[in-house]
Chain A
Amino acid sequence: MALLTFSDKGFYCPPGDFYIDPWRQVNKAVITHAHSDHARYGHRQYIAQQDSVPLLKLRLGSFIQATGYPYGTTFSIRGVKVSFHPAAHVLGAAQVRLEYKGEVWVVTGDYKLAPDPLAGSFEPVPCHTFITECTFGLPIYQWPEPTQVFTEINDWWRENQEEGRTSILSAYSLGKAQRILCSVDAGIGPIYAHGAIENTHDVIRQMGIALPKTERITDKTNKKDLTGALVLTPSSGMASNWIRRFADPVTAAASGWMMVRGNRRRQSVDRGFVLSDHVDWNALNTVIGELHPEKIYVTHGFTDLFARWLQDQGYDADVVRTEYSGENEEPLEEVTG
C-alpha cells in the first residue's frame, strides 16, 4: 500500500488521513517549512517542526492551530509514525519521515547540503521511497563554496562603501536574509533591513535565537545614515519605489539562479551572487547515491529531465506534479510585500 498518494490537494497519507504541504485547504496538514508555497492559508490544523510554528503564525496569523515537534521526535498520527529531520533549508525546515507497517517514506521539502547558521545540517534519512525536490536538478547548477561567495559579498560591500554608496542586496525574508546576515562581516558597517525581513527577525529573536544587529528601515530612516551600509530587502523591494529612497544605491541579488549569466542580467541588478538554499546537481546525486532508495519521486524543478537522468542511472524514478513555485525560488509572500 502506498504511504502517500498524489492528489490535486497535495501529498495525502491514507492511513494517517493527513496531507503534507497541501495547496488546497485540508483538515490536517504536516508542513515541511514556513515558505508560503509549502505552508498555505486555511488548513484546520498545522503540524510542523517546533521552530517553524512561530514563523507559521507570523505568516498565516496567530490564530492558526499549530503543533510543533522537535527534530528526531517520533509522534503518531492514526498509527503512522511521523518525525521531522533537519533539511537545512531555512529555520525550522524539516524532512518528513513516515513509517507504517515497516515501510518508510521521506518527503524532503526543500533542502541543501551546506550547513546553515540557523537551519542546521542536513540529515540523510534512510527510506524505501524518497520524494525529493529538484529545483536545480541540472548539471549547470553546481554551487561555489559558500565561504567564497560571502567573501565576494564582503568585498562588494566594502568597495561600495569606499565609494560612499549604499549596498542593497535582495534575499528572501525567511532564510536567505538570515543566512547572509549571519555570514557577512558585520564589522564592515551597519546592516539595515526591509520591514518584511525585520518582522521575521523580530520573531526569530523572540525565540531566543541571537542574530547580528540590524536596523529596520522606516520612513524616518535618515538617508545619510545609509551611506556605506548593507541593506537587505526582499526582491519586491528592489522592484518598487522603496529603492528610490537610497542615495546612490548599488544593487545585487543572491540566488541559485544567478549561476546563469542571462538570469543575472535579467534581474536588472548590478551584481549577482550564487547563493542557494536548495541542493545543487552534485548534492542531489550525492544524497540519492547515499540513500539509494527503492523508489524516487521528484517534485518541483527540472523534474522530467532529472527523473530521466535517475532512470538512466538505474533508479526507479518518477515525476510528481505539485504546485510549489519550483521554477521560482521566490516564495509568494515576496510578491505581495
Chain B
Amino acid sequence: MKRFAFLYRQMDQTTSTNRKLQALVDYFQAAEHQDALWTIALFSHRRPRRTVTTTLLRLWAAESAGIPLWLFEASYDMVGDLAEAIALVTPPPERSETLRTLKDWIRFMQELKDVDEEAKRKAILEAWSQLEQDERFLFNKLLTGGFRIGVSQKMVTKALAQVLAMDENAVAHRLMGDWTPDNTTWDALFQSDSALDDHSKPYPFYLAYALEGAPEDLGALSEWAAERKWDGIRGQYIHRGDTWFLWSRGEELVTDKFPELETLMKIIPPGTVLDGEIMPWKEDKPLPFADLQKRIGRKNVSKRLMIDIPVIFKAYDLLEWQGKDLRERPYQERRALLDPIIEAIPPGYPIRLSPMVPAGSWEELTTIRSRAREEHCEGLMLKRMDSAYGTGRKKGDWWKWKIDPLTIDAVMIYAQRGHGRRASLFTDFTFAVLDGEQLIPFTKAYSGLTDAEFDEVNAFIRRNTLDRFGPVAVVKPELVFEIAFEGIQASSRHKSGIALRFPRIKRWRKDKLRKEANTFQDLQEMLEQYG
C-alpha cells in the first residue's frame, strides 16, 4: 500500500504530464505484477465490488474519531467526499502497517463480503488504525468504489508501453475487454497470445476532436468524407465464433441491455467488428436521446420497453472482417467494404448504414450541417479518406463538426453546493424563464463560467440567499445567464413540460436585467420548432 500511496501522492502533487508519466513508469517497474494489475484496473474503472455500505462506514468513522455522527456528517458535507472525510477525521495510526500491499488490502476487503456486521466493523477499524492518512484515503476509495484520479487511460497505456517495450496501440488493445485482476494475470494480459484470442475483446475506440476553425482549413474537400453525427451511444458490435458482444465507448459491456441486436448474428458473419452508434429508432427516424437513457437505466429490459423504444445499430466503420484486423487500412477502403455489406441486409433487421453525406463544396456542406437539427443530428463528422482507425483521441484525421447550440437567457433562482472538489461552493444552479410576474424553472446547469465569474456568482449567492432548503439556497432572482443546449424535448417528468439536452451556462449576461430574460412563451416556441 505504501508504494501505491506514493504513486498516488506523486500524481496528486503535480500537474506536469511528464512527471506523472515518470511516476507511473517508476511504479510499474517496481511493483509486483498483481499489484500493478490492480492499479491498472483501478485507473480503468474496474473496481472491486463493494462489501460494506457507506452508512456503516459513516457510523464507524464517527466512532473511530470519537465524535458524534452529526458532526461527522457535517464534516463530510464540507469535504464532499466520503473516503476523504473519513481519512481526515480518523486518528493517525498507532503503528503503521507496512506488509500488506494493494492486492492484499483488496483481498482483505473482498473477504468481508460474507462476514457479519460486527466482524466487518472490527476489520475496518483495525485497517484504519494501521494506515497512514493517504493510505486510509485510498483504502476508503477502494471500499466506496468511487476511485477517480487525474490519470488518463492514455497516460497509463503510454507508461505501460514504455515498461513493457511494446507498441502503445498494442497495449491499448490488450487493456480492453472485461478482464479483472481476479480472472487474469499480468503475463496473460500482456504476454500471451491467448489474450487476443478472447472473443469479447473490443478494439480501442478512435475518438474525434471538435473542429474549432473553419472547415476550409482542413484542405481540399475531396480528401474528406462527411457523415452525420448521430445522437446515440457510441458502440462496438462484435460477432466472433458463435457469440456476440456489444461494447459502449465507456468500455462497458452492454450486450444484455440490447437483446434485439442478437438477431444480427444471422446476417453478419463471424469475424466481424463494427463501429457505430446505438440509436433509439422508430418509424425510420431517431427517437430523442432521453429515450435511450430509459433503456440504459433499466436493469431488466422488458418486452414493453423494447416495443416502445426499439434500438438499431447505425454502422459507420468496419474494424474487423473475416477475422482480420482492418484498422490500418484507409477509411475509404473500409467504407468500400462496409457499405455493400450493410446495404445487402434485408429490411427488418435492426441495423442501418450511416451514409456518407456527399457535397460539392465546403459551403454546401456548411448548409447541410446547419439543417442537422431537422435531421435529429448533432452536426457532421469529418473523416480523412486515407485515415487509419487510430487509438484514443488523436488530432488531425477525425473531427466532429457540431452545430451551434440553441441558447436562451434565463434567471438564476436556486443554487446548490457542489460535491468533491467543489464542496464548499455553489456549483449547481437552477434557472427560470419569465411568465408575466412569475418565474418558471426549466433547467439546471453547471459549469461554463470562468473562475473569477464563478467566485463572483458565489459571493452574490451568499449575500442574496432568501431561503434555504437543506443544501439548496433560494437566490434573489436577479442574475441573467445565457444557457446553451443541444436539443429540446417535451417532458412530462419536468414541471415546465420541457427537458433540455446538455444544458450549460454559456455566459453571464451582466448587461441584462431580470425583466430582459426570455419568456416561457419563447421556450414553447423553441419546443415547437426543434422538439
Contacts and interface: CB of A to CB of B under 8 A. Distances in A.
Interface stretch (A66-74, A105-113, A198-206, A266-274): A266-274
A20 to B, nearest CB: 25
Contact of B67 (A139, A260, A265, A302): A139
Contact of B80 (A262, A268, A271): A262
A140 B78 contact: yes
A-B pairs, top 8 by smallest CB distance, nearest first, are A262-B421, A140-B88, A139-B89, A265-B421, A140-B75, A270-B15, A305-B74, A138-B75
Interface string A295-307: 0000000100100
A138 B421 contact: no
A225 interface: no
Interface string B13-30: 111100000000000000
A309 interface: yes
Given A262-B421, A262-B423, A271-B13, 5 more contacts: A239-B452, A263-B424, A308-B71, A312-B68, A327-B424
Interface in B306-320: none
A261 interface: yes
Given A138-B78, A140-B78, A261-B81, A309 B423 contact: no
A308 B72 CA distance: 13
A268 B451 CA distance: 9
B84 interface: yes
B421 A261 contact: yes
B137 to A, nearest CB: 8
A280 to B, nearest CB: 11
Interface string A251-288: 00000000111111110101100000000000000000
A327 B423 CA distance: 13
A312 B74 CA distance: 15
A270 B14 contact: yes
Interface of B: 12-16, 65, 67-68, 70-72, 74-75, 78-81, 84-85, 88-89, 420-425, 451-452
Contacts of B451: 268
Contacts of A141: 88
A121 interface: no
Interface string A135-174: 0001111100000000000000000000000000000000
B81 A140 contact: no
A140 B421 contact: no
A305 B71 CA distance: 7
Interface string A313-337: 0000000000000010000000000
Nearest to A140: B88
Nearest to A141: B88
Contact of A139 (B14, B71, B424): B71
Interface string A228-258: 0000000000010000000000000000000
A271 to B, nearest CB: 6
Nearest to B61: A139
Contacts of B74: 138, 302, 305
A309 B16 CA distance: 42
Given A139-B67, A142-B88, A262 B75 contact: no
Given A263-B424, A266-B421, A270-B14, A139 B65 contact: yes
B83 to A, nearest CB: 10
21 contacts: A138-B78, A139-B67, A139-B72, A140-B78, A260-B88, A260-B424, A261-B81, A261-B420, A261-B421, A262-B79, A262-B420, A262-B423, A263-B421, A263-B424, A270-B16, A271-B13, A302-B74, A302-B78, A305-B74, A308-B70, A312-B68
Contacts of A261: 12, 81, 84, 420-421
Contacts of B422: 262, 266
Contacts of A139: 65, 67, 71-72, 75, 88-89
A262 to B, nearest CB: 3
A260 B79 contact: yes
Nearest to A261: B84
A270 B19 CA distance: 12
A262 B13 contact: no
A138 B423 CA distance: 15
Interface of A: 138-142, 239, 259-266, 268, 270-271, 302, 305, 308-309, 312, 327
B96 to A, nearest CB: 15
Nearest to B133: A144
A309 B71 contact: yes
A271 B12 CA distance: 8
A271 B78 contact: no
Which of B15, B65, B451 is the most central at the interface, judged by chain A CB atoms within 10 Å of its CB? Answer: B15
Contacts of A239: 452
Contacts of B70: 308
B88 to A, nearest CB: 4
A158 to B, nearest CB: 14
A62 to B, nearest CB: 32
Which of A139, A141, A263 is the most central at the interface, judged by chain B CB atoms within 10 Å of its CB? Answer: A139
B423 to A, nearest CB: 5
Which of A260, A305, A327 is the most central at the interface, judged by chain B CB atoms within 10 Å of its CB? Answer: A260
Contacts of B84: 260-261
Contacts of A302: 74, 78
Given A261-B421, A262-B80, A305-B74, A140 B14 contact: no
Nearest to A269: B15
A264 B421 CA distance: 8
A138 B73 CA distance: 11
Nearest to A281: B89
Contacts of A263: 421, 424
A281 B33 CA distance: 41
A309 B68 CA distance: 8
A268 B464 CA distance: 27
A274 B13 CA distance: 13
Contacts of B85: 140
A177 B270 CA distance: 69
A263 B423 CA distance: 9
Contact of A140 (B13, B68, B79, B420): B79
Contacts of B67: 139, 309
A262 B88 contact: no
A259 to B, nearest CB: 7
Contacts of A259: 88
A235 to B, nearest CB: 12
Contact of A262 (B12, B71, B81, B452): B81
A263 B72 CA distance: 19
B270 to A, nearest CB: 48
A269 B325 CA distance: 45
A337 to B, nearest CB: 15
B81 A271 contact: no
A138 B80 CA distance: 14
B503 to A, nearest CB: 23
Contacts of B79: 140, 260, 262
A260 B79 CA distance: 6
A259 B81 CA distance: 13
Nearest to A270: B15
A302 B79 CA distance: 13
B449 to A, nearest CB: 13
